[in-house]
Amino acid sequence: MSPTSQELLAQEDRLQFERFDNETALELGAHLLAAARAQGLAMTVSVRRNGQRLFHAALPGTSADNDAWIERKSRVVDRYGHSSLHVGTAFRERGTTFEESSRLDPDVYAAHGGVFPVILRGTGPIGTVGVSGLPQLEDHSFVVGQLTQFLNAR
């Protein structure tokens, strides 16, 4: 079952960083990559801050299509300041779809799960962390689960 937009906003309220620099991005990316490897997932992982790609890795079984999906989903997060799944869900809850009503090119923007905002507490969204390789709800759940572990360990 898909989470509601309110449940997705609660995730964003909970999963925030006290600080986020290049080292944090590298550690976060390595954490997600190790988890994907441990689970045997064919997945691409990306961490960005202010539009700069700080971490990017693609495991066996992925392709350039996964890179393109991450870019499209990241543009949605950059534009709306919320997870790519939240944006798509919010449109569906209003009785429409992102593709029908956003007036944005679907070849450039994708409101599908898998990219989450990097939120700096007291500042707001400053980047993205995302994956591509699984169905959208699984991509989103993977990112949220790994972010939870990563932040709890800090």
CATH of range 5-152; options 3.40.50.12280, 1.20.1250.20, 3.30.450.150, 3.40.50.720: 3.30.450.150
Question: Hey, where are the domains in the chain?
Answer: 5-152
Please name the helix (run of DSSP H) or strand (run of DSSP E) that holds residue 154, with its range, or none: none
pLDDT tens sequence across 66-85? 999 999 999 999 999 999 99
d(CA 102, CA 83): 15
Distance of CA 70 to the CA centre of its chain: 8
pLDDT in tens, 81-134: 999 999 999 999 999 999 999 999 999 999 999 999 999 999 999 999 999 999
Give the pTM: 0.96
Residue 19 sits at φ, ψ, to 5 deg, of -150, 155
